[in-house]
Structure formats: C-alpha cells, structure tokens
Amino acid sequence: MTFEPRIVGFLCNWCSYAGADLAGTSRIPYPPNVRIIRVMCSGRVDPVIILEALAHGADGVIVMGCHPGDCHYVEGNLQAERKIKMLKKLIAWTGLEPERLRLEWVSASEGGRFAEITKDFTTQIMKLGPSPLAGEKSDPNLLEGMLAAKAAAEDFRLRALVGRERELVEEKNVYGEKKLQEDFDKVMYDAIRAEYIRNRMYLMIQKEPLSVKELAKRLDMDPGQVLRHVVIMRRRGLMAVDRIEGTSPLYIALEVK
Amino acid sequence: MSREKPRIGVYICHCGINIGGVVDVEDVAKYVGTLPNVVVAKHYVYMCSAPGQDMIKNDIKEHKLNRLIVASCTPRMHEPTFRGVVEEAGLNPYLFEMTNIREHCSWVHAAEPKKATKKTKDLIRMSVAKASLLEPLHKREAEVTERALVIGAGVSGMRSALDLANRGFEVYLVENSPSIGGKMAQLNEVYPTGEKAIDALEPLMKAVASHPKIKLFTNSKIEAVDGFIGNFKVKVAVKPRYVTNDCNACGKCESICPIEVPNEHDFGLSKRKAIYLPFPAASPPIYIIDEENCNKCGKCVEACEIGAVDLKEKGMGMEIGVGTIIVATGYDLYDPPKGEYGYGLYDNVITLPQLERLLDKNGPTNGQLLFNRSTPKNIVFISCVGSRQEPGIYKPAIEGQQLNRYCSRVCCMAALKNALAIRERYPNTRVFYLYRDMRTFGKGHEEYYRKASESRVLFVKYKLEAPPVISSSSNGLVVTAQDVLTNDEVLAIPADLVVLNVGMVPSADASGLQAKLRLSRSADGFFQEAHAKLRPLDTALDGIFLAGTAQGPKDITDSAAMGSAAAARAAIPLARGKVEIEPIIAVVNEDLCSGCGVCVALCPYSAIKKDEQGIARVTEVACKGCGTCAASCPARAITVLYFTDEQIRAQALAALGRIPS
C-alpha cells in the first residue's frame, strides 16, 4: 500500500482557513492528506498540542497564519512564529525530523498558495516517509524523547521565554536592558537543551533508579554535565537518592506536586 | 460543573451534487452512526433548506439531542444559520459545531472520491471529538456611551460626523491639520461634472462646523486609545495654534510676517508666511502659526488689533469617552523619488495635484495655466506613477519599502479631467496622455473618456516593461514612449510640461494611530477591513469602523458613500445603547496563575490586567478570543472558551484516528 501521510493542520480563522476555503471555491485540487483544525489565531496553537500530535504519530503538522502585518489580532502570527522556532529546536533533540513541523503564511486571498503549500508539504512528508512514531510499533526511545519534549514545553521556563521574547528583544527588560536577538537565541538554545535533558532524565529515572554514569551513557553525554543537572534537579525536589550501589548513588524520580 | 452525557446529532449535507456528487454520503452517515455519543446521523440534499432545518429541529426534540454537528460548507457561510436553528430548538447555540466538507474536501478532491469520503469521515470524527466537549456559552451585554469619535475631517470623516450628528448623536471630530476639508480642498474641479471642488465642499464644511452636536477639534492628535466597543477612552492632544478663537482673519499679521516658506496647500508652487490661513475657505477661519518656521519676532502680536496672537499658548490635553470610533484618516500622495520620470531633475516635471493647483482660480497662478510665465504648448501626462508597480521594473520610493502593487483608482479619471480642461481652455496646447491601462469604470466616467478622445487628447498606450523615458534636449524635454497600439512605434514627444499621475499611499500619520487603535493593515499598507466583501467598513475590532481612503484608494464619491455607511454602522451600538459580547473569550484559572504577567504583555487588546493579588484578570468585553495568551501562559492557567486546549487536542488526536470517547 502506498504511504498516505497523516497531516494535522492548524489554520487561523481569518486568513489561512479562508484561504483554504478559496482554494475550494476556485476548485484548486491538492492532496487530501491534511486534516484542518480551525483556530481563531495561529498564536492560539499551544506547542504542547503540536508535540502531542507528533507523539501520536502525525506524519506532519502544519500551522498556517496571516502574513506578518496582516494578523487579525495584530501580531498573534509572530507569536506563533516564536513558538514554532522554539519547537523545531526542541524537536531536533528528540531525533525526530524537525521538518515534520512547518509554519506558513497564507492570506484569505491566496487559495492557490494554500493548495501549493499543502502539495509541497505532503510531498516533503512523503519523502521523509512515515513517522517513526506512527503505527503499532513506535520507537520507544524516540517516544520517550517526544514525551520529554512535551514535558519541557509544558514547563514554565520555555513558555515564559517564548512569551517574553518580543518584550526582551524589542523593548527593554526590568533592568532597562534590551537584548539582542542573537543573545536571546543563545539563552533560548541553552534553555531548550537543559529542559529537554532534565525532562528526559526524569522520565528515565521514573522507570528505574539510575546512576549518573548510566544516565550519561543513555544520553550520550559527559557524566560531569549530567551531574550538574542532577544537582539542579535534586535542589528542585525532582529526584532523590534511591540507594547506593558500590560507590554510585542511584537516583529515582520524585512525584511533583 | 458536571457534564451531561453528550447526545450528538450529525447532519451530512449533499449540497445538491456539490458534496453528494463526490463523497459517498450514505457510507459516511453509516460510519458516523457508529461513533461514540452520536445518537442520530443523517444525510440530506440541502441541510440549509427549510425542510433540512425542520429536520434538525424535530430531531433535537425527538431524540433529546444536546450537541449538533452539520457537515456541509464552510462555517463562514452557514454557521450563523445553524446556530440560529439550534437556538430555535431550545439548545444553546454554542453546542453546535460545523464540519467543512465542501470547500475543504469535495470541491478540491473531486478527482479522488474514495479519498474524499475517507477525509470526510475523519473530519466529522474530529468534530464529534470536539462537540463532545462543548459547553453552553452565553453572550453578555455591556452599556454603551452614546457618543462617537470620528478621526479625520476630510470628505468621508465630515460625512460620517454629519450623519451621526443628524441622527442625534454627539460626535467628536478630531482633525490633525489646522482646517477641516481634507485633500478635496486642494482640487480644482471634480469629475465627471466639472463642478468646482471647493463649491461642493464648502457647504459640507459649514454644516459640520456649525452643527451643535459636533465638537470639532482641529490641529489635534489622538494620543492614546483604551477600552472597547461601547466604552472607549480616548486621549486627545490639542496642539497650540498661537492664535486664539478671537481671530477675525483680517490678515494683518500675515502681511507683516517676515518669514516665507513653501505653501503646502499649493504643493510648494507658491509661498506662505509663518502665520497663515491654510486656504481661503479654511474652517475654522482662524490663523495659525507654524511653530517650525516662526522665529518669534513678535511682529504679528503687534499687528493684531484684537490681541488674538498668543505666542505663549500651550497645547491642551483631554480625555473623551465614546462608544464607537470611525477612522477616516485619508491617504498621502505618492511622492516620486528624485529622478523618477525626471521628477526633481527638471522643474517642468510636476505632479497631477500640482497641475490642479495651477488650474484653480484660487491657485498660485489664479487659474492661468502658466509655467515659467508661459502657457505650455505640449503637455504629457504619464499614468500609474507610484501605482501598479511591478518588481524588477519599478523601485520603491524609499529604499527597502514595499512596492505599491495596487491601482490607485482615481488617477485615470483625475488626469482625464485635467487633460480635457486643458484642451477646452487652451485649444492650441497639445495634450499627450501616456497610459498603461485606462480605467474609467464609474458612473459617467466612460462617457468622460470618450469626450476627452473627441477633444483630441492623444492617447499612447505604453507597456509595463517599457515605461516612458524623459530626457532633456536643447528645445526642452522629450518624452520617448513605445506605443503598443501602433505596433511598438517609438514616439519622441516634445514636452513643455510633464504631469505625473501620482497615486495614493497609506497615510504616514496613520501609522502611529494604527498601534494606538490596535488595527491591522492589509498587504498594501492601508487599514484592513474585517471582510473584503461583506464587512468592508468594520475592522477586526468591534466598534471601530473605517471610512474613505484610510481603507484603500477611492474617489470622492466612494469616500462620501463610505462616510455615510460607516456612520450608519457606528450608529447601531449607539442607538441600541447596549452591545452583545461574543462569549469566545479567554478565562484564567486563578489557582494556576503565577502572576508572571506574560499574558498582560502579549494581549493585543490590553484585555488582561493583574489584580491587587497579582492574578491575571480578563476584561471580558475587551477580549477578542485570539488565544495567544492561552498558548503562551507559562503556568498553562489560561484557556479560551469554544477553543479550549482539551477541544483542540481532541480534534488533533481524532485526526490521527483516535476514536473520541
């Protein structure tokens, strides 16, 4: 059987959804693989829901909003862009192809463009092949990675950073400083990596107590770095020593209240 | 709140053969009937017809349905229809969900009926997942301040203000420049009647200035806008005029003022003083001192016999409360960059509005077509200057800015009017009209074009790829053009005067206003209407309306019509005294809110504020339900009614094959 990609599309009510309507009115054919969900604004699409769709085996997720400057809600679309930028970096850590997620601008008058993008994205997903998370036997390692990414996207830190990006980069922070975009990107990069790794560690030690060495091996990381995360996670009450084997303490996850 | 068990009715529309001709609706209905919570699944030829609607109403009663899905066209088309049906049957209208299987499915997958049928099943399954989670929502009402604000006192703004005032509503009319009247005051005659522009305009200006219900503020700016439909709070700054209302416009101050600057009313073709009356018919008829150029010598203070000049005058600020706002901020003229068709290089290359001033009896030459003291023998008009610019051929006026891809809609007719006037008044002057396309689509406009042809205006059609070239020779300017109509014959036209038919660009002053009002702009830079076809006067913000060229290029007729229309729209909430508020809004879970304030900064409508405890509070009337706050809340404490996380998630998972529970 040929591969029929399953793609979830989140379309803003005012531009892209209307653009898709126009593709219909103009009878412009495109592949029948995208399942459209109407939202009021592309900025409404929560990163957690995108990760959930991918974790549940979506072969692709596409978010469409108004062109910059055209947003029905002034700049919800730019907020969507910041979220997708963060998500792509986060997804890259899991091992899933970040190209399975795409953001596009389609106006209400661009029926042709909507059809073109849908066709292009479907072709791209066909080339990538089925998601390793689709079907009965999904890759458990990758799934754990996706769950770690989802947990990271649910946590305060990344959400706050994305939510504050505009303010920090375009306006001034409470100390009256303006951050350069590249400085911000660096902070964001570090935060994504740290949050992903800690959530991944947390998922691992939820299943069984593990030593720093074992965690480092599974994460393919330097044990010194893992230890630094362990210190932070212990301070936050996320893990505790379960027992000591030889000279190595084994850590176990603590329930977060 | 305990949720009653969902009992969903699903109605699949054939839409004649639009859906039924592609999708196997019977098979779909059979499948949908097997989904959890679905009590009834039917298909019918036209769900929106009276029998279709009756079927739904009967089934709601008979089967005790408490959720409803219609799978048919786009919700933009019939969502209000079916919400009404649901409501008539006694159900909350927000317990309805629409599945788009026509625009998003049958019309685009007509060649693949099997796949279209499968997609239809998926789409309805997604709707069932969402419908199972729907909650009843209720519209709310808020009181309305029965006053309106009109920003901009050009033709459309004045028309709006006057109509509203005549309906009995108080109107604040705020104009940035020292006089009302707008750009029409600078025109000579108007097409297609040939009437003097100022003669048509003056009665309107007088009516506005003297209306007891209109509070007029010229030389004033909008500082800040807060609030929402029914209850806007607007800060207005009245700039100092340095001349009090006692001024009787005697003109003694002007004659003694030592400073001369280019007169903007004549587009720089004449001079004015630093203390001046904007134009003879200006309203209010009060002089003004132009701060930038005045050297405070005080001669005008001495010359004024009634002591109306006050160099120490301070501006004043005030706050007004209004229920609705009309934005009628107009346009700017395209300012050609130096060198475009010789503009700025040769002084006999002028713009069309400058020509209007030369032909106006109140203009710098008292209406004599004199340029450098003689009447031009050969005049060349060039159309589409600053309009319909195509990449690769034109460059933006300011580097880095976008090209004006749109048609300015008035230049063809405005230039024809002037070409015809010149031919009639100066039969010895030859007029060449170089155009890309001729657009004379209005009432009486084509006839006008014919008249211009008959009066022997010479029309030359140039190609987009080969715009005319202006060069200078010992005998004056030469315009070289390729004439499409004579098989690309190259013409070298001698010209004493070249007139550029400059188009309209979005008002630069309005860009500050855009942020204050939180309006959006369309790709061309003009203010964006809520719907290009059906809601051309509304903005995305309830209670804020557009009139005139603020929304896009249009002529006086259309501007006046739009001014009246916007007044009618803006009067609705004022007349009702109450506004209904859409219940699709953000709600904060106080227990989860961390008080971080991310939502406060992100909300485009300032609809979220922190209370004394630091908890985020949504001002329901101001919230537009975009949901950016919800998707960004670090504590995940916010959701949006009718688009909850739970509902969106359920749809996404159902799209991937999960059967909703």
CATH of the domain at A122: 3.40.50
- A124 and A65 within one domain: yes
- d(Cα B561, Cα B568) in Å, to the nearest integer? 11
Q: Within an 8 Å CB–CB cutoff, is residue A44 touching chain B?
A: yes
- A12 and A120 within one domain: yes
Q: Within an 8 Å CB–CB cutoff, is residue A36 touching chain B?
A: yes
- A180 and A67 within one domain: no
In chain A, the number of structural domains is 2
What pLDDT, in 10s, does the model give residues B120-141? 999 999 999 999 999 999 988 8
- A120 and A167 within one domain: no
- Give the Cα-Cα-Cα angle A99, B649, A97 (nearest 5 degrees): 15
CATH number of A170's domain:
1.10.10.10
Tokens of residue B57, six digits? 């109403």
What pLDDT, in 10s, does the model give residues B336-364? 999 999 999 999 999 999 999 999 999 99
User: Taking CB atoms and an 8 Å cutoff, what residues of chain B touch A29?
Assistant: 108-111
For residue B70, what are the β-bridge partners?
Answer: B11, B98
The answer to whether the CB atoms of B627 and A44 lie below 8 A apart is yes
Asked which of A164-168, B243-247, B462-466 is least confident by mean pLDDT, the reply is A164-168
User: Taking CB atoms and an 8 Å cutoff, what residues of chain A touch B591?
Assistant: none
Q: Does residue A140 sit within a domain?
A: no
Cβ atoms within 10 Å, residue B61: 11
In the predicted model, is pLDDT for residue B2 greater than 60?
Answer: no
In the predicted model, is pLDDT for residue A257 greater than 70?
Answer: no
Tokens of residue A224, six digits? 């010194």
**Listed residues A110, A128, A146: the one ending a domain:** A128
User: Taking CB atoms and an 8 Å cutoff, what residues of chain B touch A167?
Assistant: 601
The one-letter amino acid at B525 = G
| Residue ranges in B491-543 assigned as alpha helix (H) | 510-517
In the predicted model, is pLDDT for residue A195 greater than 70?
Answer: yes
Q: Within an 8 Å CB–CB cutoff, is residue B635 touching chain A?
A: yes
Give the residue-averaged pLDDT of B434-452.
Answer: 95
**Listed residues A71, A93, A128: the one ending a domain:** A128
- The 3-state DSSP class for residue B615 equals coil
- A101 and A17 within one domain: yes
Residues within 8 A of A (CB atoms), B 332-371 only: none
Give B103's DSSP letter.
I
- Residue in chain B closest to A78 (alpha carbons) equals B628
Q: Within an 8 Å CB–CB cutoff, is residue B112 touching chain A?
A: yes
Give the residue-averaged pLDDT of B163-175.
Answer: 98
The one-letter amino acid at B494 = P
Interface test with B, best of A6, A7, A21, A166 (most B CBs within 10 A): A21
CA B88 → CA A26, B13, B91, B184, B592, distances in Å?
34, 20, 7, 50, 38
- A123 and A12 within one domain: yes
- Give the Cα-Cα-Cα angle B229, B234, B237 (nearest 5 degrees): 160
Tokens of residue B621, six digits? 């009337």
pLDDT of amino acid B271: 96
Interface test with B, best of A14, A44, A161 (most B CBs within 10 A): A44
- d(Cα B595, Cα B590) in Å, to the nearest integer? 9
Tokens of residue B601, six digits? 């900064």
Asked which of A178-187, B415-424, B636-645 is least confident by mean pLDDT, the reply is A178-187
- Residue in chain B closest to A6 (alpha carbons) equals B656
- A195 and A96 within one domain: no
Give the residue-averaged pLDDT of B377-383.
Answer: 97
| DSSP strands (E only) in B51-134 | 67-72, 96-100
User: Taking CB atoms and an 8 Å cutoff, what residues of chain B touch A22?
Assistant: 103
Quote ipTM for the complex. 0.95
- A123 and A205 within one domain: no
- d(Cα B318, Cα B237) in Å, to the nearest integer? 7
- A234 and A122 within one domain: no
Residue from the list A72, A115, A159 with its beta carbon closest to the beta carbon of B520: A72
Tell the residue number behind the tokens 């150029």, with chain if given: B293
Q: Within an 8 Å CB–CB cutoff, is residue B111 touching chain A?
A: yes
For residues B159 and B547, the answer to whether their CB atoms sit within 8 Å is yes
- d(Cα A47, Cα A195) in Å, to the nearest integer? 15
What pLDDT, in 10s, does the model give residues B52-64? 999 999 999 999 9
- A215 and A115 within one domain: no
User: Taking CB atoms and an 8 Å cutoff, what residues of chain A touch B112?
Assistant: 32
Q: Within an 8 Å CB–CB cutoff, is residue B584 touching chain A?
A: yes
Q: Does residue A198 sit within a domain?
A: yes
What pLDDT, in 10s, does the model give residues B290-334? 999 999 999 999 999 999 999 999 999 999 999 999 999 999 999
Residue from the list B103, B109, B523 with its beta carbon closest to the beta carbon of A29: B109
- Residue in chain B closest to A156 (alpha carbons) equals B634
Q: Within an 8 Å CB–CB cutoff, is residue B643 touching chain A?
A: yes
User: Taking CB atoms and an 8 Å cutoff, what residues of chain B touch A41?
Assistant: 626-628
Asked which of A43-47, A79-83, A106-110, B431-435 is least confident by mean pLDDT, the reply is A106-110
Q: Within an 8 Å CB–CB cutoff, is residue A71 touching chain B?
A: yes
User: Taking CB atoms and an 8 Å cutoff, what residues of chain A touch B649?
Assistant: 49, 52
Band of pLDDT at residue A138, cut at 50, 70 and 90: confident
- A173 and A75 within one domain: no
**A221/chain B closest Cα distance in angstroms:** 29
Q: Does residue A149 sit within a domain?
A: no
Asked which of B67-76, B286-295, B319-328, B388-397 is least confident by mean pLDDT, the reply is B388-397
Tokens of residue B362, six digits? 């109140």
- d(Cα B303, Cα B408) in Å, to the nearest integer? 45
Band of pLDDT at residue B520, cut at 50, 70 and 90: confident
- Counted across chains A and B, CB pairs separated by less than 8 A come out at 181
The answer to whether the CB atoms of B103 and A8 lie below 8 A apart is no
For residues B616 and B588, the answer to whether their CB atoms sit within 8 Å is yes
- d(Cα A67, Cα A104) in Å, to the nearest integer? 8
B76-104 CB burial, b ≥16 within 10 A, e <16: bebbebbbebbeebebbbbbbbbbbbbbb
pLDDT of amino acid B475: 84
Residue from the list A44, A109, A160 with its beta carbon closest to the beta carbon of B626: A44
- d(Cα B651, Cα B127) in Å, to the nearest integer? 7
Q: Does residue A135 sit within a domain?
A: no
CA quadruple B288, B290, B295, B296: dihedral sign: positive
Give B104's DSSP letter.
I
pLDDT of amino acid B1: 42
Residues within 8 A of B (CB atoms), A 165-224 only: 166-167
In the predicted model, is pLDDT for residue B269 greater than 50?
Answer: yes
User: Taking CB atoms and an 8 Å cutoff, what residues of chain A touch B656?
Assistant: 6, 8, 53, 56-58
Residues within 8 A of B (CB atoms), A 99-128 only: 107-109, 115
- Residue in chain A closest to B602 (alpha carbons) equals A163
Q: Does residue A187 sit within a domain?
A: yes
- A172 and A81 within one domain: no
Q: Is the pTM of this model over 0.95?
A: no
- The 3-state DSSP class for residue B297 equals coil
The answer to whether the CB atoms of B108 and A28 lie below 8 A apart is yes
Q: Within an 8 Å CB–CB cutoff, is residue B615 touching chain A?
A: no
Residue from the list A53, A79, A162 with its beta carbon closest to the beta carbon of B656: A53
For residue B616, what are the β-bridge partners?
Answer: B610
Quick one: residue A97, left, alpha or beta (phi over 0 = left, psi -120 to 50 = alpha)? Answer: beta
Q: Within an 8 Å CB–CB cutoff, is residue B627 touching chain A?
A: yes
Contacts of B494 (CB under 8 A, 6+ apart): B378, B473, B475, B476, B477, B478
Q: Does residue A243 sit within a domain?
A: yes
User: Taking CB atoms and an 8 Å cutoff, what residues of chain A touch B23?
Assistant: none
The answer to whether the CB atoms of A163 and B598 lie below 8 A apart is yes
User: Taking CB atoms and an 8 Å cutoff, what residues of chain A touch B540?
Assistant: 14, 72-73
Give the residue-averaged pLDDT of B503-522.
Answer: 86
Instruction: Kindly report the average pLDDT of chain B as a whole number.
Output: 95
The answer to whether the CB atoms of A18 and B76 lie below 8 A apart is yes
The answer to whether the CB atoms of B626 and A48 lie below 8 A apart is no
What pLDDT, in 10s, does the model give residues B6-44? 999 999 999 999 999 999 999 999 999 999 999 999 999
- Residue in chain B closest to A62 (alpha carbons) equals B652
**B631/chain A closest Cα distance in angstroms:** 4
Q: Does residue A145 sit within a domain?
A: no
- Residue in chain B closest to A69 (alpha carbons) equals B521
Instruction: Calculate what percentage of chain B has a pLDDT beyond 90.
Output: 87
Q: Within an 8 Å CB–CB cutoff, is residue B659 touching chain A?
A: no
What pLDDT, in 10s, does the model give residues B446-503? 999 999 999 999 999 999 999 999 999 988 899 999 999 999 999 999 999 999 999 9
Range of the domain at A169: 155-253
Residue from the list B103, B115, B651 with its beta carbon closest to the beta carbon of A20: B103
Nearest residue to B606 (alpha-carbon basis) of B138, B225, B230: B225
The answer to whether the CB atoms of B628 and A20 lie below 8 A apart is no
pLDDT of amino acid B3: 64
pLDDT of amino acid A174: 67
In the predicted model, is pLDDT for residue B246 greater than 90?
Answer: yes
- d(Cα A97, Cα A76) in Å, to the nearest integer? 26
Tell the residue number behind the tokens 């609030």, with chain if given: B227
**Listed residues A128, A147, A178: the one ending a domain:** A128
The answer to whether the CB atoms of A164 and B109 lie below 8 A apart is no
Q: Does residue A244 sit within a domain?
A: yes
Give the residue-averaged pLDDT of B171-196.
Answer: 96
